[in-house]
């Protein structure tokens, strides 16, 4: 293990480490903690310049206020309406493409694979004008469907990379044995491979959920109103309305961050396995 | 094209003809599995890239007919100060974003212990990556806000006047990059933590017996084993730096006086915002950004291709 386990060091070093851990953590999360405290401050505190002191009382009302006086709930709902179908769509499509690229040897296999990988890295702006145009032409501009369709297509790139590598690492003998038995290609995919890729499906689901929930660029390009815009774009426009009402902006920020944070804590192992794919040989 | 020799032939009873349907099925199968995903990707990613390049040769407001203008959009770029500001800022982003890699490694080394509660610490250090860049942008706008922001108050306490980072054209980009580094460091940290987990303990022990320790051990023994993690950290950091859009849009909208624009934001501004709908000009900016990114993407793909061949 590197660095040396702290247990093998002097008692002084051990105590220092135990103290340094929480101190570093608080420093690291200081901006976030500040916002969390601000979200619970009554407006009067901010008006009187009490930005850092103890809040005069805990104003949970800030959280209620953003629901009552703004389309916040609608934005949140839109985020779910975009994110959940995207997760299902992108993961389903990539199970198919990943299987095709991992199991079969055919000409162009590697090239197709690398087109998916490369496409996943391009700047969004090179897609912006044509994708917006296409969405308008399909009559899906400013709809949740139009936004989700694009996300499904784009995320398929990353998901294919992930799935293909995961399926490629499965034991080949299983599939070969099934072929010898005369099992059909679809049956092999559905009954043999699918049950084995469940961990990959879990990892991709949490990752794609987070990516799409946090997407801001496409939300502003493909949607406009509070009936369709997800929370990221909504929060930005609310920020414009709530000038200097930092307690509301803070409460909104905290709420907008909650779903991906909950996802992360619930499925931490899968989340990290997904993000660090390839970080270990 | 023949059925891959890597798989055993379908067994047939002697004297019977090979089951042709199955062989045909196996030849077709990969394409059928590929079709839905590849089609979506083609329509929404590959074709738009080509279309954008095409549109960059037109003058177009998005609705009326396109007018062919040849390379004049690109010629205009050469004379556009805002373009150079954006390009310069992109380079600053790219260079400073690289700090995420050593800082991520540093925090990973700090957290790579097995004491009580360390898993929770690791998760909480990773936190900034999970939240949306919009929220990160708002958090840091508040952090920097003159008059009451924590950062502002801190600098006020130090120098008496306080530094309004985002209001000054000379510092604004650095302020935004610092906000961007926060989640990016967290990402690199988690990559290195995973990498450190699989560093071969026997090599560490052997090196320790040889008297290696500290920086030397890190440089000669540990880092070479962390190479895959470093590669991924490099890829995601380069891409993240060049894709920077959200933070600029949230924190400053490119201001003050357009001094914090980056190419991605300038493109959006030209093509879709109150400044007008100059799709052709916007597409030309996007093509330049794409070209810059392709240099890096090609490098990454080339390396992955080599690894794949080596398997």
Full domain range(s) for residue B214? 81-310
Using CA atoms, how far apart are residues A250 and B143, in angstroms rounded to an integer? 11
Average pLDDT over residues B290-295: 95
Confidence of residue B27 (pLDDT cuts 50, 70, 90): confident
Confidence of residue A212 (pLDDT cuts 50, 70, 90): very high
Average pLDDT over residues B86-105: 97
Using CA atoms, how far apart are residues B308 and B206, in angstroms rounded to an integer? 31
- Give me the CATH number covering residue B97: 1.10.3720.10
Domain-located, residue B53: no
Share of chain A above pLDDT 90, in %: 70
Full domain range(s) for residue A22? 1-33
Closest-CA distance of chain B to residue A83, Å = 14
pLDDT given for residue B9 in this prediction: 44
**Does residue B6 or residue A258 have the better pLDDT?**
A258
* pLDDT of A5 higher than 70: yes
Share of chain B above pLDDT 70, in %: 91
Average pLDDT over residues B267-293: 90
Closest-CA distance of chain A to residue B148, Å = 6
Domain-located, residue B235: yes
Structural domains in chain B (count): 1
> Would you call B67 helix, strand, or coil by DSSP?
strand
Question: What's the burial of B160, exposed, middle or buried (CB within 10 Å: 0-12/13-18/19+)?
Answer: exposed
Nearest partner of B30 among A175, A167, A109, A100, judged by Cα: A100
The beta strand positions in chain B, using DSSP E, are 58-59, 67-68
Residues A96 and A230 in one domain: yes
Residues A261 and A156 in one domain: yes
Domain-located, residue B127: yes
Residues A126 and A205 in one domain: yes
Domain-located, residue B45: no
Task: List pLDDT tens digits, range B49-76.
Answer: 999 999 999 999 878 889 999 899 999 9
Domain-located, residue A125: yes
Domain-located, residue B37: no
Domain-located, residue A210: yes
Q: Looking only at Cα atoms, what is the longest distance across chain A?
A: 79
Confidence of residue B11 (pLDDT cuts 50, 70, 90): very low
Task: List pLDDT tens digits, range B220-233.
Answer: 999 999 999 999 99
* pLDDT of A256 higher than 90: yes
Residues A24 and A86 in one domain: no
**Does A67 contact B at CB distance below 8 Å?**
no
pLDDT given for residue B275 in this prediction: 64
Nearest partner of B189 among B111, B259, B245, judged by Cα: B111
Closest-CA distance of chain B to residue A110, Å = 8
Size of interface A-B (CB pairs under 8 A): 307
Domain-located, residue B256: yes
- Using the beta-carbon criterion (under 8 Å), do B124 and A25 form an inter-chain contact? yes
Confidence of residue A281 (pLDDT cuts 50, 70, 90): low
Domain-located, residue A255: yes
Q: Quickly count: other Cβ atoms within 10 Å of residue A266's Cβ.
A: 10
Q: In this complex, which of B114, B229, B243 lies closest to A279 when CB atoms are compared? A: B229
Confidence of residue A53 (pLDDT cuts 50, 70, 90): confident
**Does B206 contact A at CB distance below 8 Å?**
no
pLDDT given for residue B133 in this prediction: 94
Task: List pLDDT tens digits, range B132-169.
Answer: 999 999 999 988 988 878 888 888 888 888 888 999 99
* pLDDT of B14 higher than 50: no
Phi-psi group of B130: left, alpha or beta (phi > 0 → left; psi -120 to 50 → alpha; rest → beta): alpha
Domain-located, residue A29: yes
Nearest partner of A172 among B7, B17, B163, judged by Cα: B7
Domain-located, residue A167: yes
Residues A81 and A25 in one domain: no
Residues A29 and A79 in one domain: no
Structural domains in chain A (count): 2
Residues A97 and A196 in one domain: yes
Residues A20 and A105 in one domain: no
Confidence of residue A214 (pLDDT cuts 50, 70, 90): very high
**Does A278 contact B at CB distance below 8 Å?**
yes
Whether the CB-CB separation of A97 and B37 falls below 8 Å is answered with yes
């Amino acid at each position: 293990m590197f660095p040396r386990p702290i247990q093998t060091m002097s008692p002084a070093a051990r105590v220092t480490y135990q103290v340094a851990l929480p101190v570093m953590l608080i420093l690291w999360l200081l901006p976030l903690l500040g916002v969390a405290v601000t979200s619970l401050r009554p407006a009067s505190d901010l008006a009187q310049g009490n930005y850092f002191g103890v809040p005069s009382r805990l104003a949970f009302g800030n959280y209620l206020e953003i629901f009552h006086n703004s389309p916040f709930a609608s934005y949140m709902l839109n985020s779910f309406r975009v994110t959940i179908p995207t997760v299902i769509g992108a993961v389903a499509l990539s199970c198919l493409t990943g299987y095709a690229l991992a199991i079969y040897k055919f000409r162009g296999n590697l090239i197709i694979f690398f087109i998916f990988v490369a496409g996943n890295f391009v700047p969004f702006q090179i897609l912006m004008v044509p994708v917006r145009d296409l969405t308008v032409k399909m009559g899906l501009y400013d709809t949740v469907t139009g936004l989700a369709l694009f996300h499904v297509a784009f995320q398929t790139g990353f998901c294919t990379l992930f799935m293909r590598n995961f399926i490629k690492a499965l034991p080949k003998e299983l599939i070969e044995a099934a072929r010898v038995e005369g099992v059909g290609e679809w049956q092999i995919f559905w009954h043999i491979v699918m049950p084995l890729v469940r961990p990959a499906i879990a990892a991709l689901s949490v990752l794609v959920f987070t990516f799409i929930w946090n997407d801001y660029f496409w939300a502003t390009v493909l949607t406009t109103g509070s009936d369709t815009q997800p929370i990221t774009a909504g929060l930005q426009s609310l920020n414009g309305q709530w000038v200097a009402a930092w307690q509301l902006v803070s409460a909104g920020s905290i709420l907008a961050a909650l779903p991906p944070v909950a996802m992360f804590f619930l499925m931490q192992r899968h989340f990290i396995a997904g993000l660090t794919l390839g970080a270990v040989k | 094209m023949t059925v891959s020799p890597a798989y055993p032939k379908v067994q047939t009873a002697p004297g019977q003809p090979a089951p042709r349907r199955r062989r045909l099925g196996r030849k077709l199968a990969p394409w059928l599995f590929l079709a839905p995903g590849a089609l979506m990707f083609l329509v929404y990613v590959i074709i738009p890239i080509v279309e954008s390049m095409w549109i960059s040769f037109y003058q177009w407001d998005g609705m009326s007919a396109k007018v062919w203008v040849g390379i004049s959009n690109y010629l205009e770029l050469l004379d556009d100060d805002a373009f150079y500001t954006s390009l310069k800022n992109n380079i600053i982003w790219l260079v400073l974003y690289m700090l995420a890699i050593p800082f991520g490694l540093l925090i990973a080394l700090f957290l790579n212990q097995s004491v009580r509660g360390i898993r929770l610490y690791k998760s909480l250090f990773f936190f900034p990556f999970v939240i949306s860049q919009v929220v990160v942008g708002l958090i840091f706008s508040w952090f920097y806000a003159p008059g009451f922001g924590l950062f502002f108050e801190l600098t006020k306490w130090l120098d008496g006047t306080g530094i309004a980072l985002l209001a000054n054209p000379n510092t604004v980009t650095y302020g935004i990059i610092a906000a961007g580094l926060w989640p990016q460091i967290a990402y690199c940290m988690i990559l290195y933590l995973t990498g450190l987990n699989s560093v071969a303990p026997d090599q560490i022990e052997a090196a320790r017996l040889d008297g290696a320790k500290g920086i030397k051990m890190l440089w000669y023994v540990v880092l070479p084993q962390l190479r895959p993690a470093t590669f991924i950290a490099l890829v995601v950091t380069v891409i993240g730096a060049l894709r920077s859009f959200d933070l600029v849009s949230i924190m400053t909208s490119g201001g003050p006086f357009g001094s914090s624009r980056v190419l991605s934001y300038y493109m959006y501004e030209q093509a879709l915002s109150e400044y007008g709908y100059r799709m052709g000009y916007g597409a030309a900016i996007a093509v330049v950004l794409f070209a810059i990114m392709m240099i890096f993407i090609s490098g990454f793909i080339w390396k992955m291709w080599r690894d794949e061949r080596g398997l």
